[in-house]
Amino acid sequence: MSETTMKLAVIGGSGLGDALGGEKGEVREVETPFGSPSGPIVETEWSGTPVYLLQRHGPGHLLNPSQVPYRANIYALKSLGVTHVVASGAVGSLRESVRPGDLMIPDQVIDKTTKRANTFYDAAAVHVELAEPFCPVMRRWLLEASERLASTRVVGSGTYVCMEGPAFSTRAESELHRSWGADLIGMTVMPEAKLAREAELAYALVALPTDFDCWRPVDPDQSRQDLLAEIIGNLQKATAASLALIREALSDLELLAAEPSPAHRALALGIWSDKAKIPPEEVERLGVLWGRYFKGEG
């Protein structure tokens, strides 16, 4: 894939969503078979690279994690020709070694969501591989960029537990997640990463730890207002660091252009149904996602 055919999108979560900007970009309103995305998609330019920006929770952060239209968001990006997605999201840390204000590029996910539509393919049996839920090429690209940013501490791997929310964990749940070997707790990476794989989009996450979750006792002398202010401060610090990291990564796309992502062929062996028996209207409805495998192009 050449740099001219590559198109990147940034999905911003808490903090980064408000900081994305893009006021000078072109607003793209996209309708999908799954309804409208979270908000307008802004086509702009970062570091000389065309980028599509999408706020996961919508303008004003009105959509809670269970209400985010994940299918519409990913489908809309795919329909615009996006090939690579960098996502961000605020998380809680489950480890002393992952400090609020740091960044993490996770490599694994445990999905505990229960209410969200998690596949595009309701009329066929489609099974994509998800052993590596984040694109290894994009992870390496981000980590190489992080080495050029000495001021930012980036943790290079870890496991993200995605819970349903919107309430935060109980202490027992937080301790359970730690016993599983998880490093982060959040509410938005699933089914987003899973749907990106079904859409054959390379996908990687920059996670923004804001606090230590509830497993770690807080200072009893710290007021709730001070604690909230501390969390917001950590989010602002991590947001600034993530913006710097993404911009630095976008300044050099050579690795992404030279090395294909495994995600770009995720459906090659993933459509288990007899293609001849899948309703033609369903093939056409989702043509943006899987159409090439019905035209002999896959």
User: Residues forming the annotated binding site for phosphate?
Assistant: 14, 56-57, 188
Q: Is 226 known to be catalytic? A: no
Give CA–CA dist 134/137, Å, rounded: 9
Binding residues for substrate are 187, 211-213
Marked catalytic residue, from 122, 213, 219, 221: 213
Tell me the C-alpha to C-alpha distance, in Å, between residue 146 and each of 96, 156, 229.
Answer: 21, 9, 27
Q: Give the sign of the dihedral formed by CA 284, CA 289, CA 294, CA 296.
A: positive
Marked catalytic residue, from 102, 111, 183, 211: 211
Alpha helices in 15-102 (DSSP H): 16-19, 70-79
Q: Give the sign of the dihedral formed by CA 88, CA 89, CA 92, CA 94.
A: negative
The single-letter code of the amino acid at 39 is G
Q: Is 213 known to be catalytic? A: yes
Binding residues are 14, 56-57, 187-188, 211-213
Give CA–CA dist 161/184, Å, rounded: 6
Pairing state between β 159-162 and 108-111: parallel
Concatenated DSSP letters for 128-176?
A: ---SS-S-HHHHHHHHHHHTT-TTS-EE---EEEE---SS---HHHHHH
Residues forming the active site: 211, 213
